[in-house]
Amino acid sequence: MHLMYFTEQPMAAYDAKEGLKYGATALTFSNSHYDPVEGSRLYNEYLEEYIMADEWGVDGIMLNEHHNAPFCMQSRTNMFGAILAAVTKRAKIVFLGNPLPLADNPVQLAEEIAMIDMISKGRVVSGFVRGGGQEQLANGVNPAYNRERFVEAHDLVTKIWTEPGPFRWEGTHYQHRVVNPWALPVQKPYPRVWIPGVLSRETVIWTAQQRYPYIALNTAIDATKTIWDTYSKAAKEVGYDAGPENFGYLIRVHVQDNEEKALQNARQFMWMQGEFTGLAHPVWANPAGYFSPSGRRGFVEFAVGRAKNPRGQPTFEEQVADTMIIAGTPDQVIARLKHLIEQTRPGIMGIWGNDGTVSKEDRRRCIELLVKEVMPAVKEHGKSLGLKDPWEANAPVHLRYSTDIPVQRAAAE
Residues 6+ apart with CB under 8 A from 386: 244
Given a cut of 90, whether residue 277 has pLDDT beyond it is: no
Given a cut of 50, whether residue 195 has pLDDT beyond it is: yes
Contact 410, 168 (CB under 8 A): yes
Given a cut of 60, whether residue 98 has pLDDT beyond it is: yes
Contact 329, 261 (CB under 8 A): no
If you average pLDDT over every residue of the chain, what do you get? 91
Amino acid letter, residue 372: K
Q: Is 95 helix (H, G, I), strand (E, B) or coil?
A: strand
Q: Which of the residue ranges 29-38, 349-358, 368-377, 400-409 would you say has the lowest mean pLDDT?
A: 400-409
pLDDT-based confidence at residue 24 (cuts at 50, 70, 90): confident
CA distance 392 to 34: 44
Q: Say what the pLDDT of residue 401 is.
A: 47
**Bigger pLDDT: 271 or 399?**
271
Q: Which of the residue ranges 48-57, 123-132, 164-173, 274-283 would you say has the lowest mean pLDDT?
A: 274-283
Mean pLDDT of 339-345: 97
Q: DSSP per residue over 216-269, as a string?
A: EES--HHHHHHHHHHHHHHHHHTT----GGGEEEEEEEEE-SSHHHHHHHHGGG
Mean pLDDT of 344-357: 97
- Residue 321 CB: number of other CB atoms within 10 A? 11
| Strand intervals (E) in 91-213 | 92-99, 124-129, 167-170, 175-179, 195-197
At 172-182, the pLDDT tens digits run 999 999 999 99
Q: Say what the pLDDT of residue 412 is.
A: 30
CA distance 381 to 397: 26
Mean pLDDT of 314-335: 96
At 207-226, the pLDDT tens digits run 999 999 999 999 999 999 99
Q: Say what the pLDDT of residue 305 is.
A: 63
Q: Fill in the DSSP letter of residue 372.
A: I
Note the pTM of the prediction, 2 decimals. Answer: 0.92
At 385-403, the pLDDT tens digits run 999 999 999 988 875 544 4
Looking at the chain, the whole-number percentage of residues with pLDDT higher than 70 is 91
CA distance 295 to 297: 5
Helix axis angle, 221-237 relative to 201-210, nearest 10°? 50
CA distance 352 to 5: 6
Q: Say what the pLDDT of residue 170 is.
A: 97
pLDDT-based confidence at residue 293 (cuts at 50, 70, 90): low
Mean pLDDT of 197-203: 90
Residues 6+ apart with CB under 8 A from 73: 8, 9, 10, 11, 39, 42, 43, 46
Euclidean distance between the first and final Cα of the chain, in Å?
A: 42
Given a cut of 80, whether residue 102 has pLDDT beyond it is: yes
Task: Write the CA distances from 103 to 119, 198, 327, integer angstroms.
Answer: 22, 21, 37
Q: Any idea where the domains of the chain sit in the sequence?
A: 2-384
Given a cut of 60, whether residue 366 has pLDDT beyond it is: yes
For the domain made up of 2-384, the CATH class stated in words is alpha beta
